[in-house]
Structure 1
Amino acid sequence: MSDELTASKQSTLQFLPVNLFGSVMGISGLALAWRWSHELFGTYALIGELIGALAVIIFIVLSISYIMKLFKYPQKVIEEFKNPILGNFFGTIAIAILLLSSVIAPYSKALSEIVWVTGTILTIVLAFIIVHRLMNQKQEILHATPAWLIPGVGTLDIAVAGGTMPFPWSEEINLFGFAVGGILALVFFVLIFSRLMHHDPMPEKLTPSLMVLIAPFGVGFLAYTNIIKDVDMFASILFYFGLFLGIVLFGKVFKRRLPFGTSWWAVSFPMAAVVIAAFKYAAHVNTWPLKAIAAISLLVLTIVLAVIFVRTLIYLFKGELLKA
């Protein structure tokens, strides 16, 4: 019986999807959003800290599990990485590490800095590999999905998490990350938008990834304002377009008929980034309409992630999450 259970665990481990690391991104973003809520509205600080602790725990569990998959089923990992769509989700690992550096910063500056440097190196390396692959292999237009934005635009998160780093070279690294992520966002966004307008719709299981389209604007706002240490007209444009696009896509993504799967975690961090941007912008403008937008968006984000989290656990215990 014990041998059968062990064999079953090993067989399901090979189907552990890398895009589950998107859950760490989303939950980390939710934790940071609740920290902003504490500063702006005086909500309980413990809420954000507990959510942040959950993000750390999930990352540790997923990291151990995926490393086991790498050693036991290396060919499965290689196939996943080479996939023209799924391979982009390896960027979620690096982005998750960057965001966790912000989550743990209040507790250990030294550890936060180590985690940020690790995430920065990994993000740049992955961005180089993915972009190099895109430019050196013929790409099918139907493969131009929002997932393309993840590895390249992930470099924007270097500045999002690195705005307070004390290193003398961190400012230049933040600028580098913003430059790479910003230009790639512009190029890929146009390509993906054109594909969505002029070609067949994406498969239903990839529909939640449409929310990734708002990431360059929410994340771009946070990265840009961290670099210039202010909120100017360009930052306002990034925020408002991200908010507008998020509202447009919300109705396309959240439909009952869409099947549930790990791809739903793709909605989490893009939404969280816009919510955090809403809080930062509301704190700058200091008017009740912007504060209301921040509060409502945080409530929506919390409900959405709570539902996705519970459904993920249900699918896991039913044995439907880790299967071919």
Structure 2
Amino acid sequence: MSTRRWVIPASFFSMVLGLAGLGTDWRAAARLWGLPAWAGEAVMAVAAAVWVTLVLLYGLKWLRHGAEARAEIEHPIQCCFVALLPVTTMLVGMAAFPHSRPVGVALCTAGSIGALVFGAWRHGGLWRGGRSVNATTPVIYLPTVAASLVSAMAAGALGWPELGQLFFGAGVLAWLAMESVIVSRLLTAEPLPLPLRPTLGIQPAPPAVALLAYSAVTSGPPDLIAHGLLGYALVQALTVLRLTPWVRQPFTAGYWAYTFGATAIASGTMRFAARGDDRVFAMLAPVLFIVANVLVVSLFIATLVAALRGRLLPPPAPTP
């Protein structure tokens, strides 16, 4: 039997982003509204199971299809998805932390170091130039912005807020630097090809994840920075929502790009709602929580259906 059916792209780790993000939402909802705590742990268990499966399959990809794995990591767009491996490792570490501190610390530490090394290596390569503007999409946020902000969340969860603030600054400043480049490309260059349009779902994620990371490395009620991050994340989400008809296409796993921003903004809003009497956060928290649940559950069902029909895996990425 051919092993081709088991060759997964690194972008599949975005499923863990959405599932772990939803688990974080349910944990925050249990503290804020008293919802069943087991629901969040159940979702986290599913996220961890998917992560283990994808790690094994990705390892087999390097063992059995090394040329294809190397082509992916050298591809000008697909390479950035490889950063999701250490990022999701940290998320699974945070999921495990309440149950086993050693496991949580080990996974978060390994993921943070791996993300930092990969981000420096990948972006160091990009700085040499020669990159086509058409290869610039929101996926370039992943190796530095997403990695740094999730490292900030992990450090805060482990009780190291000062370290988390370093990562928070690195992630936010990297986001601001790259935001103008990405938006300039979207405004002035050729339209994104249809298969790449779901990557626009990543665009609201930086301010949303920054809001969640900010809640992890600070204390007290919502302040100006928290309100500002929430406001910008909502505007970005509305902009992406307006583009839904332009992005729409037959289902692909690329739609999971929408989930991390949606779950992060819900978690961050609920965490700040629990920390102070703030009408804005208190009003938006249940709405964003419901939206995150509908989105992730819908994509999870669609993914299972596509997998059962043998339509989930994309063709191999061409060698650049």
Q: TM-score, normalised by structure 2?
A: 0.92
**Is the contact between residue 146 and residue 192 of structure 1 (CA under 8 Å) also seen in structure 2?**
yes
* Distance across 2 between alignment mates of 1:255 and 1:32: 31
The answer to whether structure 1 residue 319 and structure 2 residue 307 are counterparts is: no
**Is the contact between residue 21 and residue 62 of structure 1 (CA under 8 Å) also seen in structure 2?**
yes
* Distance across 2 between alignment mates of 1:321 and 1:130: 27
Q: Measured at CA, do residues 224 and 291 of structure 1 come closer, stay the same or move farther in structure 2, by a change above 3 Å?
A: closer
**Match in the other structure for 1:148:** 140
Q: How does 1:166-315 map to 2 (within 5 A)?
A: 166=159, 170-171=160-161, 173-230=163-220, 231-253=222-244, 257-287=248-278, 290-315=281-306
Runs of 4+ in structure 1 over 4 Å off = none
**Match in the other structure for 2:21:** 29
Instruction: Identify unmatched segments of 5+ residues in structure 1.
Output: 1-6
Letter in structure 2 aligned against 1:121 = I
Aligned partner (choices 105, 109, 120) of residue 101 of structure 2: 109
Instruction: Identify unmatched segments of 5+ residues in structure 2.
Output: 316-320
Deviations 1:263-321 (A, max 9, x none): 11111111111111111232234345533321111111111111111111111111111
**Is the contact between residue 48 and residue 92 of structure 2 (CA under 8 Å) also seen in structure 1?**
yes
Q: TM-score, normalised by structure 1?
A: 0.91
Q: Measured at CA, do residues 271 and 119 of structure 1 come closer, stay the same or move farther in structure 2, by a change above 3 Å?
A: same
Letter in structure 1 aligned against 2:144 = G
Identical-residue share of aligned pairs (%): 25
Structure 1 residues 248-257 or 47-56, which shifts more? 248-257
* Distance across 1 between alignment mates of 2:244 and 2:116: 30
The answer to whether structure 1 residue 135 and structure 2 residue 140 are counterparts is: no
**Is the contact between residue 144 and residue 195 of structure 1 (CA under 8 Å) also seen in structure 2?**
yes
Letter in structure 1 aligned against 2:111 = G
The offset of 1:18, in angstroms, is 0.9
**Is the contact between residue 215 and residue 268 of structure 2 (CA under 8 Å) also seen in structure 1?**
no
* Distance across 2 between alignment mates of 1:57 and 1:83: 28
Letter in structure 2 aligned against 1:95 = V
Aligned partner (choices 74, 82, 89) of residue 81 of structure 2: 89
**Match in the other structure for 2:57:** 65
Letter in structure 2 aligned against 1:226 = A
Deviations 1:102-121 (A, max 9, x none): 11111111111111101111
